[in-house]
């Protein structure tokens, strides 16, 4: 799951809803020979400029991005990270990009978010890239926005709290303010091209207040939210200073989706503790007159496609070279973004214990740990990197021999195909997060196996995937002895038991695939609409005395007819 080529994604339609083909207005920026040209020069050519199979667009009128199209509702996906297929873009890690890309395949719509670039010049409108029927609309962030919104509130505060790591949060009012400011910027840019019948689907913790900002700008559209990471219990959520402004803002969405029932129930407890909140029918809650529905929608993968990819990848020169390099060693695999939530330290401790307790396995097994670096500006990420490298050297120093390295550690990312080949070659996958929303590595590992001779998944009980992948060996990653014992059992497991465990998991994933996830979520969103009076209520609430200069305020609504 960690690294993907950026080609070949598509946007998903809403099961029941049809999505119009989009036409983008004028053009800019990149000539047919790939040279950068001015917006005016591009506009004067009067037609989209192609660069290979890509098109780069920007509206000639700097005041507005006009994404034209007049046939029915469009699906507008919004997330902080957008996997724009541009030359030179780094391959991206993480479950969100994987899920959204797969969910949008072969469909048409818009994916809006951050370009991944930092630029001090304020961009008036998003940059538009079209590829494979997807329209990507991206904006840059300033250094200050990146620091306060992304590194700050999103990743130094919300990420640790939602992963139950209250001890790691570093809240500051400046970061809170920056988070709100960037959410307002997102709303302003989106607002310029939203049409009445668009369906908006917002993803992840970076953008919790976005629906409130869009409502304040007069948009009555169905707006859904999906949290890709865990939702902690009430007492933990309340450690977030001013949590009502951020978590409470989720009540401006029509539907708030979570990975598991446990996450959903944690948020239900939070909602019920909000002053004036009432439980309505089923999973609907009413807060200050707004109705919001919550639900569990476990994210998944393109199971059949992934299985095919792995089958083919196993025959690739890369996979052959990798397998030959093993010289008959059994392969245990760990694949994670370098993040303290992933339990990499606990996994290595478990592997260390396994080697200690089972000398007969030394020189017969190797752990390949693939771990692209992540969020390296944040000190906790630098710290985990130091800890991991020190621990790995210690284990390799203690047990290694001139002809055998116990742990191979790789920071570079791999293409989707290469990774699928590695999954298929691995006898055991060790997936040991301390807390994880879902963990798509676990699902991809299952899909990548040869059903006739499958490997064994060792999975943390704290990954969302543990609720579904019941054929895995489930472990508590905090207990090294348990990880070591599971590893021993996995390596010695007879073929019949491996098949018995793997078969039902694969069947489950073939049905509960990414397509079903998106269709279920969007069908639920289509059923759930905010009351039409919501926007007028909100405008009345904001009143003339609240100005956008107030750092805690929702900005003045851009009243629309
Ligand atoms: C997780 C989050 C995503 C995020 C990804 C990569 O999967 O749920 O929202 O995009 O990690 O992290 P990054 O900070 O590089 O976007």
339 carries an active-site annotation = no
Residue with tokens 């053009």: 27
- The per-residue pLDDT for 74 is 85
Distances from the Cα of 419 to the Cα of 6, 337, 368, 540, angstroms: 14, 14, 12, 53
Q: Which residues of the chain have pLDDT under 70?
A: 1-72, 88-94, 106-108, 123, 530-561
How far is Cα 516 from Cα 523, in angstroms, rounded to an integer? 10
Tell me how far the alpha carbon of residue 401 lies from the centroid of ligand 1, in angstroms: 37
Sequence-distant (6+) residues with CB within 8 A of 316 are 417, 418, 421
Q: Is the Cβ atom of 336 under 6 angstroms away from ligand 1?
A: no
- The per-residue pLDDT for 404 is 97
Quick one: three-class SS letters along 519-543? HHHHHHHHHCCCCCCHHHHHHHHHC
- The per-residue pLDDT for 122 is 73
Ligand 1 atom nearest to 93, measured from its CA: 6
Tell me how far the alpha carbon of residue 303 lies from the centroid of ligand 1, in angstroms: 21
Q: What residue owns the CA closest to ligand 1's atom 3?
A: 96
Ligand 1 atom nearest to 228, measured from its CA: 8
Site to probe by mutation for ligand 1, drawn from 100, 151, 202, 204 as the one with most ligand atoms within 8 Å of Cβ, is 204
* Residue tagged active-site, from 206, 436, 502, 512: 436
CA-wise closest residue to 241 among 330, 304, 179, 315: 179
* Residue tagged active-site, from 219, 228, 502, 512: 228
- The per-residue pLDDT for 39 is 29
Q: Is the Cβ atom of 94 under 6 angstroms away from ligand 1?
A: yes
DSSP assignments along 350-402, one per residue: HHHHHHHH-GGGTTTEEEEEE-----TTSHHHHHHHHHHHHHHHHHHHHH-BT
Q: What's the residue count for the chain?
A: 561
436 carries an active-site annotation = yes
Q: Whole-model pTM?
A: 0.84
Q: Is the Cβ atom of 204 under 6 angstroms away from ligand 1?
A: yes
- The per-residue pLDDT for 370 is 97
Tell me how far the alpha carbon of residue 337 lies from the centroid of ligand 1, in angstroms: 9
Q: How far apart are the first and last CA of the chain?
A: 45
Q: Is the Cβ atom of 81 under 6 angstroms away from ligand 1?
A: yes
Q: Is the Cβ atom of 259 under 6 angstroms away from ligand 1?
A: no
How far is Cα 307 from Cα 320, in angstroms, rounded to an integer? 18
Tell me how far the alpha carbon of residue 82 lies from the centroid of ligand 1, in angstroms: 10
């Amino acid at each position: 799951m960690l690294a993907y080529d950026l080609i070949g994604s598509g946007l998903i339609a809403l099961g029941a809803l049809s999505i119009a083909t989009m036409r983008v207005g004028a053009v800019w920026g990149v000539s047919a020979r790939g040279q950068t040209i001015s917006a005016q020069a591009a506009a004067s050519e009067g037609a989209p400029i192609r660069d290979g199979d890509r098109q780069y667009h920007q509206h000639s009128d700097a005041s507005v991005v006009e994404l034209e199209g007049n046939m029915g509702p469009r699906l507008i996906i919004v997330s902080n990270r957008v996997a724009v297929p541009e030359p030179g873009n780094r391959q991206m890690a993480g479950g969100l990009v994987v899920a959204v890309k797969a969910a949008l395949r072969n469909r048409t719509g818009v994916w809006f978010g951050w370009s991944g670039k930092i630029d001090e010049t304020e961009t008036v409108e998003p940059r538009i890239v079209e590829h494979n029927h997807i329209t990507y609309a991206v904006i840059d962030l300033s250094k200050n926005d990146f620091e306060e919104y992304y590194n700050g509130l999103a990743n130094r505060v919300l990420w640790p709290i939602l992963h139950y790591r209250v001890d790691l949060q570093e809240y500051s009012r400046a970061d809170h303010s920056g988070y709100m400011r960037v959410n307002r910027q997102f709303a302003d840019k989106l607002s310029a091209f939203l049409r009445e019948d668009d369906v908006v689907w917002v993803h992840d913790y970076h953008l919790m207040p976005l629906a409130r900002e869009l409502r304040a700008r007069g948009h009555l559209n169905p707006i859904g939210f999906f949290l890709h990471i865990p939702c902690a219990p009430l007492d933990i959520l309340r450690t977030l200073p001013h949590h009502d402004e951020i978590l409470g803002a989720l009540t401006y969405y029509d539907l708030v989706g979570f990975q598991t029932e446990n996450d959903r129930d944690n948020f239900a407890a939070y909602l019920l503790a909000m002053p004036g909140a009432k439980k309505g029918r089923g999973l609907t809650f009413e807060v200050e007159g707004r109705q919001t529905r919550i639900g569990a929608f476990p994210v998944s993968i393109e199971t059949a496609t992934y299985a095919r990819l792995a089958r083919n990848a196993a025959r690739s020169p890369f996979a052959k070279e990798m397998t030959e390099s093993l010289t008959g060693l059994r392969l245990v695999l760990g694949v994670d973004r370098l993040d303290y939530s992933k339990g990499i330290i606990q996994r290595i401790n478990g592997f260390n214990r396994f080697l200690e307790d089972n000398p007969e396995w030394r020189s017969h097994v190797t752990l390949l740990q693939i771990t692209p670096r992540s969020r390296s500006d944040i000190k906790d990420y630098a710290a985990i990197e130091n800890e991991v490298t020190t621990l790995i050297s210690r284990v390799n120093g203690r047990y290694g021999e001139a002809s055998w390295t116990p742990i191979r550690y790789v920071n570079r990312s791999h293409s989707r195909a290469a990774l699928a080949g590695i999954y298929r070659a691995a006898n055991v996958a060790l997936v040991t997060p301390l807390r994880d929303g879902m963990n798509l590595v676990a699902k991809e590992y299952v899909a990548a196996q040869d059903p006739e001779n499958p490997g064994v998944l060792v999975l943390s009980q704290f990954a969302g995937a543990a609720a579904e992948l019941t054929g895995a060996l489930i472990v508590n990653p905090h207990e090294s002895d348990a990880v070591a014992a599971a590893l021993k059992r996995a390596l010695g497991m007879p073929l019949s038991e491996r098949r018995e465990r793997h078969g039902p998991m694969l069947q489950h994933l073939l049905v509960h695939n990414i397509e079903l996830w998106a269709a279920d979520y969007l069908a639920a969103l289509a059923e759930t609409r905010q009351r039409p009076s919501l926007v007028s209520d909100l405008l009345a609430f904001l009143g003339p005395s609240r100005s956008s200069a107030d750092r805690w305020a929702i900005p003045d609504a851009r009243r629309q007819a």
